Amino acid sequence: PAEEPRERRPAGRRSEPVVLASGNLGLVSFPDVPHRMSREEIDARHPALLPTLANHPGVGFLLVRSEEHGGVVLGARGAERPLAALDADPGPLAVFGPGAADAVRRTHSFPHTADIMVNSCHDPDDGEVLAFEEQIGSHGGLGG
């Protein structure tokens, strides 16, 4: 079958971000940018986005790329931990247990990691996470 011609966007026009959910993991990508956006690029384009997400009570942490530090984990109240420093101070990952830092570093190393990875909060006392989609169980992110 013949392929339909793609809709052409005027030059310089930004497309909407793509937001996907898998259990307690949210993925945000900006398809008009041909590389994984950095925290600095996201902040320039959407200044309130990362702080608003990181401070939401249902969010445990964000994973983004930083021009200065490589991968960084962002949490509530301005918490920021470079991936290289997570062993000394896990910051927002502390409640996710001892394997969390390695799992996040591995995810950051993938070539097609989302621009923003959003992991829901986790209650280590009862093992509950908040899913970003309606379902009985949860999978996809840490704690799920």
For the segment 95-120, what is each residue's pLDDT rounded down to a tens digit?
998 899 999 999 999 999 999 999 99
Task: Report the pLDDT value the prediction gives residue 66, as an integer from 0 to 100.
Answer: 97
Task: Kindly tell me if the per-residue pLDDT of 76 is higher than 80.
Answer: yes
Tens digit of pLDDT for each residue in 7-49? 555 555 667 899 999 888 999 999 999 999 999 999 999 999 9
Q: Is the Cβ–Cβ distance between 73 and 63 less than 8 Å?
A: yes
Task: Report residue 114 as tokens.
Answer: 């989302």
Q: Can you give the pTM of this predicted structure?
A: 0.85
Non-local (6+) Cβ contacts of 141 within 8 A are: 22, 23, 24, 25, 119, 120, 129
